[in-house]
Amino acid sequence: MELEQLRQLDAIAREGTMSAAARALHISQPALSRSIQRLEADLGTSLFSRAGRGVTLNDAGRAAVEWARQILRDERLMRDAIDAAARRARALRVGTVAPAPLWRLTSLMVEAFPRETLTSEIAEGSAVIRGVLDGTFDLGIVCERPASPLLRSRELMRESLSVTLPPNHPLASRSSVPLAELDGSTFLILTGIGFWRGLVERALPHATFIEQDDRVVFTQLARTTPHCTFVTDAPYMENDAVPGRAVVPLEDDEARVTFYLVARSGAAGLASRLFDWVA
């Protein structure tokens, strides 16, 4: 019994006649009849009641159709699962400390290798380096250039953090402000911003953070909130800019970061080609 025979049996049940099923399957009716006869021989029973030139499914045939359709569904599910696993295996695995440099890397990959895909995970810098070294990640993005001779690194992009304030805020007219002057304020903050979250929590131990994990909702709330928010100068974050709010750069050195792309020294394939593509 072959899958093709099960597909033929299903087609006969759907189309109603042998001739209609043969047309749907793009084979001749005699070829279809011979294939179904072999299926009946394998199963050891007739699946059709034959009267003259017409055929109709008998009880065994109807039971066979139900099982055939289940087997065909399972076969499709198996193929889908295998295809998904193969796509995951081919995808470039990237560990990053922040989202903006990942978007930068993604745009470069789409430009240079448009048929390829990547998966990503935000993690602390030490975890990203360990992941690149042990093969968990094909590439890593960190904010300190690693010193290990087992790794290659190159600058990927730079990003600076600013605070956005309502126009009536006492600091809204300033050209810049240190984080220390914002301590004790309340911030509407987007989750999933990677290492930036740790930086502001350390620098603002007395601040209150109201979290929002949906970027669209966050952007909508940021338009009317009386609280402070953060924004960066990364071009991929331009949608976070909110009209009517003062954008005040932070003076602290920690608020200006250089991100480095990291790969294993012996990396090959797509990881090596993308690393070399980054300028």
CA dihedral for 254, 257, 260, 261, sign (positive or negative): positive
| Euclidean distance between CA atoms 109 and 111, whole angstroms | 5
Q: Judge contact between 187 and 226, C-beta under 8 A.
A: no
pLDDT band, residue 222 (cuts 50/70/90) = confident
| Euclidean distance between CA atoms 271 and 256, whole angstroms | 27
Measured CA to CA in angstroms, residue 69 lies from 12, 13, 61 at distances of 12, 10, 12
Name the fold adopted by 93-260.
D-Maltodextrin-Binding Protein; domain 2 (3.40.190)
Q: Do domains 3-88 and 93-260 have the same CATH topology?
A: no
86-134 pLDDT, tens digit per residue, is 555 568 999 999 999 999 999 999 999 888 888 899 999 999 999 999 9
25-55 pLDDT, tens digit per residue, is 889 988 988 999 998 898 899 998 877 666 7
DSSP state of 245: S
Range with lowest mean pLDDT among 78-82, 167-171, 188-192: 78-82
Measured CA to CA in angstroms, residue 7 lies from 1, 11, 20, 36, 105 at distances of 11, 6, 14, 11, 45
Enumerate the domain spans of the chain. Answer: 3-88, 93-260
Instruction: Tell whether the model's pLDDT for residue 237 goes beyond 60.
Output: no
For residue 207, which phi and psi values (nearest 5 degrees)? -80, 160
Among the listed residues 255, 96, 99, the one whose alpha carbon sits nearest the alpha carbon of residue 190? 99
69-91 pLDDT, tens digit per residue, is 999 998 888 887 776 665 555 68
Q: Which residues contact 249 (CB under 8 A, 6 or more apart)?
A: 160, 162, 175, 176, 177, 255
Structure tokens at 213: 């994990």
Share of the chain above pLDDT 90, in %: 53
At which residue do the structure tokens 């400390």 appear?
97
| CATH architecture label of 3-88 | Orthogonal Bundle (1.10)
Does residue 200 or residue 55 have the better pLDDT?
200
